[in-house]
Structures are given as C-alpha cells and as structure tokens.
Chains A and B, each alone.
Chain A
C-alpha cells in the first residue's frame, strides 16, 4: 500500500536554506510532487519530479530523489517569511484512479527573522 511520511515541523532563519524531507513506500510511484498550503487555502503546486530523475531545480527550489531509499527532499534556498506554510509531499499511483495522489501529513515550515 501507499504511505508517505514527513517530519512535522521545521524552523529556519530568514535567508537560510530549508530542507524538507519525505519518505514514501510505493516503489511503483512514477511521479512525486511538492505542494504548499497557506492557512485557510487550498494546495498550491510547487514542483514535481518523474521517478527516473534524481534532481530537478526550479529557481529557489531543488528537488532530490533517491529512488533506492524512497526518499524525496525539497530544498528552498534563501528562505523568506513568505515561505512559511505547510509543505506536502505526494506520490502518484497510476491505478484505476488515474493519477491518484497519496499525501504525507505535511511539514510546517516556520521562517524566523
């Protein structure tokens, strides 16, 4: 079955890098996603990576994928106060549900001045 785990909290100082980690269990996952959720809002897609890649960079965001260990990380460079939010990792399972996503419990990122 699918299971996605994340640490619950991360606190960083403004300007530092943040690294949010995620582990997943479904070895057949084809895509892995990072979403951001601000209070009272829906989920905003940040980036995603195909499982045959090991890295993807998009401006301040770097995604690293270790498929052997089923470990995914999101690095945010030069973290700003506006980056404070909950970050969700999700894996896709191409079952009868199409590209159904299974989400982790989220990591709350707090950026301090």
Chain B
C-alpha cells in the first residue's frame, strides 16, 4: 500500500501566477477528494470525484480553481491568478466505494503566495 501521494510538497509562488498540484490516490480507490486547510483550522471540503466525474464542488472553489481527474486515476488541482488568501495546505484524499469507508489522506501540498 503506497498510500496517497501528492506533489509537490511545497510550492512558493508570486501573486498572480498559476499553480498546479497533483494527487495520486491509492490505486484501487475510485473516489477522490480535495480539501484545503489553513493554519489553526480543520480541513475544508473543496471538491469530490467518483472515477473521472466531478460530482460536487464547494462554494470555496471559486472560478480561479479547477480540478480534473481525466482517466479516473490521478487528479490535478489548478489555481489561476493566485492570491495571498490562497496560501494554505491542499490535501488530497481517496477512499474505496464501500459505505462509510474512511478517507485516506496524502501529506498535502503547502502553498505560499507572496
């Protein structure tokens, strides 16, 4: 079990630049989630995929954010025209299809917008 893998671990970017993060879920998991965590807070739901279909998006996911999972395996999260308020830890999680099966999280990508 290789676990959920996220890349990069850290990203520092200047305001206005675009960034893209990648998540590789546990291989047999067909459900994939993106969360955002700011300092001192719990993770907040951003979006969810079942296979390649994006089934739900949070109101937190402004139109500068886009997520894809083109082949139902890895996923990317892109933020366009980054703002300082986007600085956070972006966490990816996956789970199997069983009812109540828990989310397994990656180690996250820490984004700092200067």
Q: Do A and B come from one complex?
A: yes
User: Which of A44, A48, A100 has the largest number of chain B CB atoms within 10 A?
Assistant: A100
**Is B48 in contact with A103, judged by CB distance below 8 angstroms?**
no
- Does B33 reach chain A (CB closer than 8 Å)? yes
Q: Which of A58-111 contact B (CB under 8 A)?
A: 88, 90, 92, 94-106
Given contacts A40-B110, A48-B102, A94-B99, 5 further A-B contacts (CB under 8 A): A42-B6, A96-B55, A98-B55, A99-B99, A103-B43
- What is the CA–CA distance of A110 and B90 in the complex, to the nearest angstrom? 25
Asked if residues B95 and A43 are in contact (CB atoms below 8 Å), the reply is no
B93-114 vs A, CB cutoff 8 Å, 1 = contact: the mask equals: 1010001111111111010000
Q: B residues touching A (Cβ–Cβ < 8 Å)?
A: 4, 6, 31, 33, 40-45, 48, 50, 55-56, 91, 93, 95, 99-108, 110
**Is A42 a contact of B48 with CB atoms below 8 Å?**
no
- CB-nearest residue of chain B relative to A30? B100
Whether A88 pairs with B107 at a CB distance below 8 angstroms is: no
- From A31, A40, A99, name the one whose CB has the most chain B CB atoms within 10 angstroms: A99
A27 CA to B102 CA in the complex, in Å?
Answer: 19
CB-CB under 8 A from A106, the residues of chain B are 40-42
Please determine whether B108 and A4 come into contact, CB atoms closer than 8 angstroms. no
* Among B42, B99, B107: residue with most chain A CB under 10 A: B42
Assess whether A41 is interfacial by the CB under 8 Å rule. yes
Closest 5 CB pairs of A and B: A103-B42, A97-B56, A42-B105, A31-B100, A43-B105
A33 close to B (CB within 8 Å) = yes
A95 with B42: CB separation less than 8 A:
no
